[in-house]
Amino acid sequence: MKEDFPTRATIEQALVRLRPHVQLTPVLTSGSLNKIADAELFFKCENFQRTGSFKMRGAVNAVFSLSDEAAAKGVATHSSGNHGQAVAKAAQLRHIPAYVVMPENAPRIKVRGVEAAGGTVIFCQPTLQARQETLDKIVQKTGAEFIPPYNDYRTIAGQATCAYELLEQVEGLDFIIAPCGGGGLLSGTALAAHYFSPSTAVLGAEPKNADDAHQSFYAGYIIPSNNPSTIADGLRTSLGDKTFAIIRNYVQDILTTSEENIVLAMRFIWERLKIVIEPSCAVPLAALLENRPEYLQGKRIGIILTGGNVDLDDFFARYYQEFVLDN
Amino acid sequence: MKEDFPTRATIEQALVRLRPHVQLTPVLTSGSLNKIADAELFFKCENFQRTGSFKMRGAVNAVFSLSDEAAAKGVATHSSGNHGQAVAKAAQLRHIPAYVVMPENAPRIKVRGVEAAGGTVIFCQPTLQARQETLDKIVQKTGAEFIPPYNDYRTIAGQATCAYELLEQVEGLDFIIAPCGGGGLLSGTALAAHYFSPSTAVLGAEPKNADDAHQSFYAGYIIPSNNPSTIADGLRTSLGDKTFAIIRNYVQDILTTSEENIVLAMRFIWERLKIVIEPSCAVPLAALLENRPEYLQGKRIGIILTGGNVDLDDFFARYYQEFVLDN
């Protein structure tokens, strides 16, 4: 199985394919966060990525690696979050249709994002079964190519380009910590470090409330989460067979963290770095601060901030009420 | 009077004085905001500045231009906002004491900011008279040097460095829009453009609810606002004689905008640029979108985002309640 993994060349090809379509996102640092963490932290800001998340990288790589003939029929996916927006945008860039199956209860900001990128949203019941059936029907009817959100080597190779860039932007990283949902980003990150900076170890980070990767990592086989409840909505998914195999081989450990510490870390990042990030992004910093493993002390640590698509409706509704309506 | 204005050389000296102590802040752009504004916008992100605002520039220039003898007695100022934090931080960098007079009702985040930088906070009643009396007493007792928040050439020259940097970072700007409270940033911006990029015109932007600069600009004499109520808390101050004289000479126009549009523009910036900015920062974009003067159409426009010290207590209290306590 191991020889199937995306190779060094596959990731380099993905980089070339992506360059015209994705942002080279900046790396931010904060003296005060370094003090709190007792380490040198380098935040790779994929919240500034097009469509607001790293998912753009996997989607662009997958969509642009299709033959013209396959592409003409369009692409389809299911997503309650950023992957849907990314596939819609990548399809728009290739001038082909995108069909995105979303649960009825998907956050409004994500639905708006798919539509803004010209994607067609097809709502379904919020169950795995309904999602699969709806997607199957769309694919059958249109002939569209399914672009999986993580358990797919095209997606993984695309997402690996984020760590590749980070390793170019910051010299001598001892560690990179990436959050882990389905494991696409984490496995891509692990492959990028393995090929391009073997002295950089890769850690995963997960909410305790959705710790299937942690459990699977130690059990040696996949133990999926069952409908987990966590604020980190991007990390509720469980590992796939492809991502798990890479993670087992190339990831050093998977740290977990409480909901309370996720909110705290999210606040640290908003207040100190002055950037808008999703709760899922805060999980690596939260896990670092909660566990404080000795081997991280004083080290140079890259942290991938995965996205910035937070629903600000309530925040601005309060502002509007307080400062416009009440005055 | 005109010959008193900070000169080209004064601003260049300020730049040299500042460089070791302030961040070269990045410039961000957004395709979707360009479409909305029908112009090319370049956002100079002083929300990423040390202490979270451009005020650091004026404070560092003033504090580091003092003689060793004067500096030894410390510095003092009054501030309900970012200037207090900036003076405290600049004093800390020069290892001298800072006394900051703040109204009892100052936002918590600003008080915490002064204290975090090692400044001594002295609370007073929230009136101009109490503020002045309290400051006078401190200065008399300690011999500290008063660092005015805007109506001071050292402060103005320091704040001018922000536009200087922006003009170096982005070529061929047709306009720069800066928000206007006391007018320190706007007058510094106007001087920087005048000396270093004469083809760049400078506009001010103000809340309609605190439009003293707009009124004074057209009347030809200072008409102060009387206790104005606006969400843009950094812009409630009125012009001083020094800032007004520069603005009259070197600013092209002062646009105004409603509270509603300030909240809307703030939201645009949070959602599209994924950065945390104060309401005051949103005023230039709000004024641009509200007035849409024809001469701005299709132009290259620099917008100074002044600071990012927003009180996020309520936002995170809700998050905490919803995702930690309720689960």
> pLDDT tens digits for A95-118?
999 999 999 988 887 898 899 999
Q: State residue B319's pLDDT score.
A: 72
> At residue A285, what are phi and psi to the nearest 5 degrees?
-65, -40
Name the band, by pLDDT with cuts 50, 70 and 90, for residue B1.
Answer: very low
Distances in whole angstroms, Cα of residue B95 to Cα of each of A7, B71, B87: 54, 9, 12
- Which residue in A has a C-alpha nearest to residue B311's C-alpha? A271
Name the band, by pLDDT with cuts 50, 70 and 90, for residue B184.
Answer: very high
> pLDDT tens digits for B252-305?
999 999 999 999 999 999 999 999 999 999 999 999 999 999 999 999 999 999
Question: Does residue B61 surpass a pLDDT of 70?
Answer: yes
Q: How far is B269 from chain A (nearest CA, A)?
A: 10
- Domain annotation for chain A: domains and CATH numbers: 2-50+153-305 (3.40.50.1100), 55-146 (3.40.50.1100)
Q: Give yes or no for a contact between B170 and B27, defined as CB atoms under 8 angstroms apart.
A: yes
Q: Is the CB of residue A24 less than 8 Å away from at least one CB of chain B?
A: no
> Which amino acid is located at B13 in the chain?
Q
Q: State residue A1's pLDDT score.
A: 47
Q: Is the CB of residue A52 less than 8 Å away from at least one CB of chain B?
A: yes
Chain A interface, mutation test: which of B236, B323, B325, most A Cβ atoms within 10 Å?
B323
Which residue in the set B230, B318, B324 is minimally distant from A260, CB to CB?
B324
Q: State residue B284's pLDDT score.
A: 98
> pLDDT tens digits for B117-169?
999 999 999 888 999 999 999 999 999 999 999 999 999 999 999 999 999 99
Which residue in the set A48, A315, A324 is minimally distant from B315, CB to CB?
A315
- Exposure string of B247-269, with b = 16+ CB inside 10 Å and e = fewer, is bbebbebbbbbbbebbbbbbbbb
Which residue in the set A267, A275, A327 is minimally distant from B275, CB to CB?
A275
Q: State residue A2's pLDDT score.
A: 52
Question: Does residue B20 surpass a pLDDT of 70?
Answer: yes
Q: What is the pLDDT along chain A (327 residues), one digit of tens a residue?
A: 455 899 999 999 999 999 999 999 999 999 999 999 999 999 999 999 999 999 999 999 999 999 999 999 999 999 878 999 999 999 999 999 999 999 998 888 789 889 999 999 999 998 889 999 999 999 999 999 999 999 999 999 999 999 999 999 999 999 999 999 999 999 999 999 999 999 999 999 999 999 999 999 999 999 999 889 999 988 999 999 999 999 999 999 999 999 999 999 999 999 999 999 999 999 999 999 999 999 999 999 999 999 998 888 877 877 777 777 766
> Which amino acid is located at B168 in the chain?
E
Q: Is the CB of residue B320 less than 8 Å away from at least one CB of chain A?
A: yes
Length of chain B: 327
DSSP H helices in chain A: 8-18, 31-37, 55-64, 68-72, 82-93, 108-116, 128-142, 153-169, 184-196, 212-219, 241-250, 259-273, 283-291, 313-320
Distances in whole angstroms, Cα of residue B74 to Cα of each of A5, B19, B135, B149: 63, 22, 13, 16
- Which residue in B has a C-alpha nearest to residue A45's C-alpha? B274
Which residue in the set B26, B230, B320 is minimally distant from A26, CB to CB?
B26
Q: State residue A193's pLDDT score.
A: 98
ipTM of the complex: 0.89
Q: State residue A168's pLDDT score.
A: 97
Chain B interface, mutation test: which of A54, A115, A231, A271, most B Cβ atoms within 10 Å?
A271
Q: How far is B226 from chain A (nearest CA, A)?
A: 16
> pLDDT tens digits for B87-122?
999 999 999 999 999 999 888 878 988 999 999 999
Name which of A128, A135, A11, A116 is nearest A61 in CA terms: A11
> pLDDT tens digits for B233-242?
889 999 999 9
A59: DSSP letter: H
Which of A 252-281 lie inside 8 A of B, CB atoms? 259-260, 263, 266-267, 270-271, 273-277, 279
Q: State residue B3's pLDDT score.
A: 58
pTM: 0.91
Number of cross-chain residue pairs from A and B with Cβ atoms under 8 Å apart: 75
Q: Is the CB of residue B229 less than 8 Å away from at least one CB of chain A?
A: yes
Name the band, by pLDDT with cuts 50, 70 and 90, for residue B2.
Answer: low
Q: How far is A142 from chain B (nearest CA, A)?
A: 30
Chain B interface, mutation test: which of A33, A85, A92, A323, most B Cβ atoms within 10 Å?
A323
B274 contact residues in A (CB cutoff 8 A)? 47-48, 52, 275-277, 308
> Which amino acid is located at A80 in the chain?
S
- Exposure string of B174-193, with b = 16+ CB inside 10 Å and e = fewer, is bbbbbbbbbbbbbbbbbbbb
Which of B 96-155 lie inside 8 A of A, CB atoms? none
Q: How far is B223 from chain A (nearest CA, A)?
A: 23
- Which residue in A has a C-alpha nearest to residue B315's C-alpha? A315
Q: State residue B171's pLDDT score.
A: 97
How far apart, in Å, do the first and last CA atoms of chain A sit? 65
Whether B267 and A316 lie within 8 Å, measured CB to CB: yes
- Reduced to 3 states, what is the DSSP secondary structure of residue B79? coil
Chain B interface, mutation test: which of A115, A319, A326, most B Cβ atoms within 10 Å?
A319
Whether A312 and B47 lie within 8 Å, measured CB to CB: no
Tell me the C-alpha distance between A116 and A118, whole Å: 5
Q: Indicate the Cα dihedral angle A77, A80, A86, A92, nearest 10°.
A: 60
B120: DSSP letter: E
- Which residue in B has a C-alpha nearest to residue A116's C-alpha? B32
B138: DSSP letter: H
Which residue in the set A267, A276, A323 is minimally distant from B275, CB to CB?
A276
